[in-house]
A and B are shown apart, each in its own frame.
Chain A
Amino acid sequence: DAGVTQSPTHLIKTRGQQVTLRCSPKSGHDTVSWYQQALGQGPQFIFQYYEEEERQRGNFPDRFSGHQFPNYSSELNVNALLLGDSALYLCASSLGLGPDTQYFGPGTRLTVL
């Protein structure tokens, strides 16, 4: 039973560029949430996707956008990268929109130079 997978594992970009991160949820899960985790901090909620729609959004600018595909996989896009976007980006999957346990992927380490 495959867990949550994310790609790529590491990424280096320069300011102003755009990046796309990918996530495949745990088998049987239909909800994907994205988090940003800066060094030494807890994960910060970016947004959540269910039934291919953004259901909730945290306090992140419109430069952060996402998408969920019919197979429940998801992408996170960040435009006009800033140095402060350097972080570990985590994807978590769960079943439905209830308070179920979220299963996290290993994350994508994004470095913006």
Chain B
Amino acid sequence: SQKIEQNSEALNIQEGKTATLTCNYTNYSPAYLQWYRQDPGRGPVFLLLIRENEKEKRKERLKVTFDTTLKQSLFHITASQPADSATYLCALLKKSSGDKLTFGTGTRLAVRP
């Protein structure tokens, strides 16, 4: 069955360091991969989308890589700040139109000052 795995343990890092979160998937051939941020009790907020033919995407302090051979995406936040503390979700989408987003369980990031 299709599976999307993200680290269930929280990632704790020092302010100013780079946070790296991992999303692995099996039995899936996504055409698109998205990363969302979710704060407690709130809905997810879209951050970045990367297509299967793209290796890397950047937006300000965020960088996403997508390796369809390894079936893995890495999400980096450089120069992390306490305000970056949240849960980060990856979500996959197949190429077919109207396909539903399939989410991972999310990884909680805590950036300490």
Contacts and interface: CB of A to CB of B under 8 A. Distances in A.
Given A4-B43, A103-B46, A50 B104 contact: no
B98 A48 contact: yes
A42 B34 contact: no
B98 A44 contact: no
B105 A40 contact: yes
Contact of B104 (A42, A55, A104): A42
A97 B43 contact: no
A66 B18 CA distance: 43
Contacts of A98: 97-98
B89 interface: yes
A99 B31 contact: yes
Interface string B65-100: 000000000000000000000000101010101111
A101 B49 contact: yes
Interface residues of B, number: 26
Interface string A37-78: 000111111001010000110100000000000000000000
Given A40-B105, A101-B34, A101-B49, A45 B100 contact: yes
Contact of A33 (B34, B41, B97, B100): B100
B46 A102 contact: yes
Contacts of B25: none
A48 B93 CA distance: 14
B107 to A, nearest CB: 10
7 contacts: A42-B105, A42-B106, A43-B101, A45-B101, A97-B97, A106-B42, A107-B41
